[in-house]
């Protein structure tokens, strides 16, 4: 409760400080012209295109570059997509993620490992495309089961394309939930800590129907989608996976239920894929609710490194990404639930390995 109260207080303080800057009292033109350009920007309520701001050369160049980029990359059919009219956003975000690993030896013989949920709480303040924030480890604060883990997410969305980088690293803190026919129908939750995994992936894809479809309306709250629309998507994805699992500590009677299972597995590979898919925004009357669903399968080339268990070096790559968003807008306020799924296939000798990272974010914020 203390963390929740502190987060709310900090969020209110950030909003109040930014609103104070944005609500500067208007000044007459003579006084405005004598101000330093930074004070002029504040007095204009951060209207970067105010005609009276005396920018120095480099700052004026940056504004021109921004305006060119906004015209080039964020041009929409205004019957479908419009801007929010606000430059600032303050958000409280709860980010939850986990890892999953599955090995299929046959239709009846398979292994499934799930991590405990990891949870973070963060505060973010954004001005146009610039954002600052701070995140707490909610598992540690609320006394949950600890495990070593790290995560980093970067996403950039404009009218024409989307780019993203996702990194995660975790060790321990997992449970075996299926092990062949070992549990014989009973619920299995066997604690398993001899596992470590590291994942780094990046995507870049283009929106073909970028005049009518806005990904930013669903995921970054930078636009309003006025009518339902969808778009085909196409681009590239790169990923690097490193996963190690040591089953030597499991009881012999348990290992006998998966006779094809080795005592130690190492997966270390990189994927270079072409991805394609479709995204769709449903606008529900009276335009306060927006629902998005996006699917992005990819195929390409997989390179397995020497440290991997299998001898294969060049393989076929097949991966899957999917996401959804539910957004509620009420005047300057917004709330949303965002889900993401990233899964990678590895076709080994006599088995198929699949590792995944699902996540769910809960966001509450205000535009001003």
Q: Are 175 and 191 in contact (CB under 8 A)?
A: yes
Average pLDDT over residues 183-187: 80
Q: Where are the alpha helices (DSSP H) in 82-207?
A: 138-141
pLDDT category at 1 given cuts 50, 70, 90 is very low
Q: What is the pTM of this model?
A: 0.82
Token duo for residue 92: 């409280």
CA 2/CA 175 separation, integer angstroms: 30
Average pLDDT over residues 297-305: 94
Token duo for residue 321: 């990404």
CA 317/CA 275 separation, integer angstroms: 11
State the pLDDT at residue 141: 59
State the pLDDT at residue 273: 98
Average pLDDT, the chain: 86
Inter-CA distances, 267 with 21, 178, 196, 245, 300, Å:
52, 20, 11, 9, 18
Token duo for residue 257: 């239920």
pLDDT category at 242 given cuts 50, 70, 90 is very high
Residues near 179 by Cβ (< 8 Å), separated by ≥ 6?
111, 112, 188, 190, 254, 257, 258
Q: What are phi and psi of 260, to 5 degrees?
A: -85, -5
What proportion of the chain, given as a percentage, has pLDDT over 90? Answer: 53
- Domain definitions of the chain by residue range: 2-73, 88-367
CA 248/CA 244 separation, integer angstroms: 12
Average pLDDT over residues 117-134: 80
CA 265/CA 244 separation, integer angstroms: 6
37 by DSSP, 3-state: which?
Answer: helix
pLDDT tens, position by position, 54-91 = 888 888 888 888 788 777 778 899 999 999 988 889 99
Residue 202 predicted with pLDDT over 90: yes
Q: Are 124 and 160 in contact (CB under 8 A)?
A: no
Inter-CA distances, 327 with 121, 152, 233, 282, 335, Å:
19, 23, 21, 10, 6
State the pLDDT at residue 48: 77
Average pLDDT over residues 118-133: 80
End-to-end CA distance of the chain: 28
Closest CA to 144 of 124, 122, 121, 166: 121
Q: Pairing between strand 130-137 and 174-179?
A: unpaired
pLDDT category at 16 given cuts 50, 70, 90 is low
Of the candidate ranges 81-85, 130-134, 191-195, 269-273, the one whose mean pLDDT is the lowest: 130-134
Average pLDDT over residues 254-266: 90
Angle at 124 between CA 121 and CA 128, to 5 degrees: 155
Task: Count other Cβ atoms within 10 Å, centred on residue 270.
Answer: 16
Supply the Cα-derived Rg of the chain in whole angstroms.
Answer: 24
Top-level CATH class of 88-367?
mainly beta
State the pLDDT at residue 167: 92
Residue 172 predicted with pLDDT over 60: yes
Residue 4 predicted with pLDDT over 60: no
Residue 132, strand partner residues: 125
Average pLDDT over residues 287-295: 95
């Amino acid at each position: 409760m203390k963390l929740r109260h502190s987060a709310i207080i900090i969020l209110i303080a950030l909003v109040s400080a930014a609103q104070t800057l944005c609500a500067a009292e208007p000044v007459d033109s003579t006084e405005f012209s004598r101000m330093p350009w930074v004070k002029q920007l504040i007095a204009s309520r951060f209207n970067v295109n105010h005609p009276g701001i005396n920018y120095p050369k480099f700052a004026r160049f940056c504004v021109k570059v921004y305006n060119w980029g906004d015209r080039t990359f964020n041009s929409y059919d205004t019957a479908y997509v419009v801007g929010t009219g606000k430059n600032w956003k303050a958000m409280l975000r709860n980010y939850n993620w986990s890892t999953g690993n599955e090995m299929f030896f046959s239709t009846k013989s398979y292994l499934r490992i799930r991590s405990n949920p990891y949870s973070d709480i963060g505060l973010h303040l954004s001005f146009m495309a610039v954002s600052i924030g701070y995140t707490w480890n909610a598992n540690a604060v609320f006394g949950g089961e600890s495990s070593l883990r790290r995560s980093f997410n970067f996403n950039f969305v404009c009218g024409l394309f989307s780019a993203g980088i996702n990194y995660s690293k975790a060790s321990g803190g997992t449970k075996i939930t299926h092990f062949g026919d070992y549990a014989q129908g009973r619920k299995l939750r066997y604690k398993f800590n001899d596992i470590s995994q590291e994942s780094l992936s990046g995507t870049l894809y283009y929106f073909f129907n970028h005049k009518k479809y806005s990904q930013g309306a669903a995921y970054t709250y930078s636009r309003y989608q006025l009518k339902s629309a969808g778009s085909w998507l196409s681009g590239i994805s790169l990923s690097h996976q490193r996963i190690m699992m040591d089953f030597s500590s499991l009881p012999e009677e348990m290992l006998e239920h998966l006779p094809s299972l080795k005592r130690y597995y190492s997966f270390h590979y990189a994927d270079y894929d072409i991805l394609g898919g479709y995204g769709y925004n449903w606008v529900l009357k009276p335009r306060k609710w927006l629902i998005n669903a996006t699917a992005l399968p990819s195929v390409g080339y997989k390179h397995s490194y020497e440290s991997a268990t299998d001898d294969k070096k060049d393989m076929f790559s097949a991966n899957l990404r999917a996401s959804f968003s539910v957004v509620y807008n009420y005047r300057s306020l917004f709330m949303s639930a965002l889900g993401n799924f990233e899964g990678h296939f590895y076709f080994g000798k006599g088995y198929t390995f699949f590792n995944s990272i699902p996540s769910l974010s809960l966001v509450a914020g205000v535009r001003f």
